[in-house]
Amino acid sequence: MHNDKIKPYIPAEKNISELTVTSVLTGIVLAVVFGAANAYLGLRVGMTVSASIPAAVISMGVIRIIFRRKSVLENNIVQTIGSAGESVAAGSIFTLPALFLWASQGNGKAPDMLEITLIALVGGLLGVFFMIPLRNALIVKEHGVLPYPEGTACAEVLLAGEKSNSKDTSASTVFAGLGFAAFFKFVIDGLKLVSGQLALRVKGFAGEIGVQIYPAVMSVGYICGPKIASYMFAGGVISWLVMIPLIVLFGSDIIVYPGTTPISTIFREGGATAIWGTYIRYIGAGALAAGGIISLIKSLPLILSTFTGAVKSARGSSVKSNKRTDKDVNLKIVLIAVIILTFIIWVTPVIPVSLIGAFIIVIFGFFFAAVSSRMVGLVGSSNNPVSGMAIATLLIATLILKFTGAEGIYGMTSAIAIGSVICIVSAIAGDTSQDLKTGYILGATPRKQQIGEIIGVVVSSLAIGATLYLLNSAWGFGSEELAAPQATLMKLIVEGVMVGNLPWALVLTGAFIAVAAEITGVPVLPFAIGVYLPIHLNACILTGGILRYIGEKAEEKKRTKNQGVVNNGILFCSGMIAGEGLTGIALALSAILGFDSFFNLSQKPGIPPVIADIGGAAMFALIILTILKFTIWKKRVKNEKDMQN
């Protein structure tokens, strides 16, 4: 049932502070912070987390406490600008690191920061502009049909803060997470006082199990929940405790491509990690590709229906109204902007895309923007098959480029550039939709929100190039520190179509593992990511999922005393992701400048490996205790005091 009439919190007749200097500057800072943090996180674990609610909570704390102001629409602008950083980062890190990977292999040169910035900027702006004509159709006319879960939840958070007369402690929870994670990260990877990873091996068995000791990784598990974390860990078990031992057992002295030395030599020199790097990553990439295609196929009926529904709804849906809450950016400006951006894609030398590629971007971009905008309204941003859409785009774009003569490294980099823009378009279109839904409930001015989204895209695009360069220079994409699973997958897909030099036996093995998981009812994408990633990382994610499960059970058993436990945990873990991400980038910068040796205590004598491992185990326990302190124990202590009063 359509319900196109709601009463917004701020009436259309009332004008209050919205797009102000304070809200814009605060939003810009958060866009850079969450964009950089999510870029780091996505390159480590292949996943990013939504920044809207943490940005909204921080905004309420900053604007209310520091600036002594209370405007829900200012807070809304802050989260609108801030969340754009996460979306630009997500779209960029899933594809652009492939260009660095080719350069490291001697194929072509690494993209410069101008190229990365322009690709991110064009994709982000197209995502916003494609969404603007659809706003009235999807956000207003289908208000009772499309729930937009993240956008609605963000509106509820902002309204709760607006109506609260007491000082809200939610912002302090996010900042506490940021501070604790920065401390943990600096001790582990800066001072190197303790081990960042613990491993357990059994003599005579080539498999390995262990755990990484990083707050952001554990936080991902908490935010995703126990089910997703379990599926990822199960994938890691298949890789590290089944496939690696079998490869070593049956491989012996055989040389198997892409390895260049006998399997026994690879294992003897590098252990299970070397087998993972040589063989398992291709199996995992095959599982990821199959998972993306399966999710896309399953979503095809919904994708087609949502696209046709969005286009039909958009026809004749333009609003001729002078009401503040009905005003969008002028459609003539939108059309001119899209034409200019298409021209920029074609003629700019640093973007390796031909006229055909530019048309592919515009056609697929609008299609996936409409699909993404409506699908996040139906199933939420976390279930939006962006990876599947990016894989489909890369397959089609690579085939078209190959048949039109754009082969070799030029054709492959062109395909990645096209896929990058489409991926960013889809991510930003979904984010813009959620933000506009929040604004619709609150009574925001759409045009001001759309301007805020554009500001967020511009700032994030400028920051993402520097972030990628820093991280690649410090550790290198595809390394154990920055596995870049999604980008590696996109690289393999393009190479497979354009050159055909992949170890297809390994890739197909992974694909059929994913098919088997789908048949048994296991969600294939988290399972496939688990197959690809090191089990140590999956184990840390599982720990976070277990902590979330404990919090959920506490809420169920003592609902009156433990309300908000999980919500506190999500806010605290969002802060931890931001804290570790920013500290990781700072450490990368110090490594490039050569300052890391000043505080790297592992280079000093007197820290035996056993002591470092014990310290790592203690640090792991401390991270767990910190999360419990800000979830279950925090609520329990608070309510006991209330009962005494």
Length of the chain: 645
| pLDDT band for position 97 (cuts 50, 70, 90) | very high
Question: What's residue 148's pLDDT?
Answer: 86
* pLDDT for 114 beyond 80: yes
Contact residues for 25 (Cβ-Cβ < 8 A; gap 6+): none
* Dihedral of the alpha carbons of 228, 229, 232, 236, in degrees to the nearest 10: -160
Proportion of the chain in helix, strand, coil states, percent, rounded to 5: 75, 0, 25
* pLDDT for 644 beyond 50: no
SS (HEC) of 9-26 = CCCCCCCCCCCCHHHHHH
* Residue 244 or 470, more confident: 244
Work out the average pLDDT over 149-165.
Answer: 80
Cβ atoms within 10 Å of 617's Cβ, excluding its own: 15
Q: What is the mean pLDDT of the chain?
A: 84
* pLDDT for 582 beyond 80: yes
| pLDDT band for position 475 (cuts 50, 70, 90) | confident
| Collapsed DSSP state (helix, strand, coil) of residue 57 | helix
| pLDDT band for position 587 (cuts 50, 70, 90) | confident
Residue matched to tokens 């939840």: 153
Question: What's residue 638's pLDDT?
Answer: 44
Question: What's residue 186's pLDDT?
Answer: 92
Work out the average pLDDT over 116-120.
Answer: 92
Long-range contacts of the stretch 414-417 (C-beta < 8 A, 24+):
414/352, 414/353, 414/354, 414/357, 415/494, 415/498, 416/95, 416/96, 416/98, 416/99, 416/490, 416/491, 416/494, 417/119, 417/351, 417/352, 417/353, 417/357
Separation of alpha carbons 323 and 325, rounded Å: 5
Question: What's residue 641's pLDDT?
Answer: 41
Separation of alpha carbons 340 and 450, rounded Å: 18
The answer to whether the predicted template modeling score (pTM) of the entire model surpasses 0.85 is no
Separation of alpha carbons 591 and 481, rounded Å: 14
Work out the average pLDDT over 539-558.
Answer: 89
Least confident range of 147-151, 178-182, 220-224, 413-417: 147-151
Quick: pLDDT tens for 283-305: 988 888 888 788 778 767 766 77
Least confident range of 188-202, 314-328, 436-450, 613-627: 314-328
* pLDDT for 50 beyond 70: yes
Quick: pLDDT tens for 496-509: 888 877 788 998 99
Least confident range of 308-312, 421-425, 485-489: 308-312
Percent residues over pLDDT 70 in the chain: 90
Work out the average pLDDT over 556-572.
Answer: 74
Taking a C-beta distance cutoff of 8 angstroms, is the pair 474, 591 a contact? yes
Least confident range of 219-223, 238-242, 443-447: 219-223
* pLDDT for 141 beyond 90: no
- In 3D, which of 481, 470, 339, 364 has the Cα closest to residue 415? 364
Separation of alpha carbons 243 and 235, rounded Å: 11
Percent residues over pLDDT 90 in the chain: 33
Work out the average pLDDT over 116-142.
Answer: 89
Question: What's residue 171's pLDDT?
Answer: 77
Question: What's residue 362's pLDDT?
Answer: 87
| pLDDT band for position 389 (cuts 50, 70, 90) | confident
Question: What's residue 5's pLDDT?
Answer: 59
Question: What's residue 267's pLDDT?
Answer: 93
* Residue 106 or 421, more confident: 421
Least confident range of 173-177, 201-205, 301-305, 615-619: 301-305
Question: What's residue 320's pLDDT?
Answer: 60
SS (HEC) of 506-547 = HHHHHHHHHHHHHHCCCCHHHHHHHHHCCHHHHHHHHHHHHH
Q: What is the CA radius of gyration of the chain?
A: 24
Question: What's residue 235's pLDDT?
Answer: 94
Question: What's residue 595's pLDDT?
Answer: 76
Question: What's residue 605's pLDDT?
Answer: 58
Question: Domain spans of the chain?
Answer: 21-165+288-490
| pLDDT band for position 371 (cuts 50, 70, 90) | confident
- In 3D, which of 444, 432, 359, 318 has the Cα closest to residue 9? 444
Question: What's residue 169's pLDDT?
Answer: 59
Least confident range of 189-203, 308-322, 565-579: 308-322
| pLDDT band for position 168 (cuts 50, 70, 90) | low
* pLDDT for 101 beyond 70: yes
Question: What's residue 563's pLDDT?
Answer: 57
Least confident range of 110-114, 304-308, 639-643: 639-643
Taking a C-beta distance cutoff of 8 angstroms, is the pair 176, 56 a contact? no
| pLDDT band for position 220 (cuts 50, 70, 90) | confident
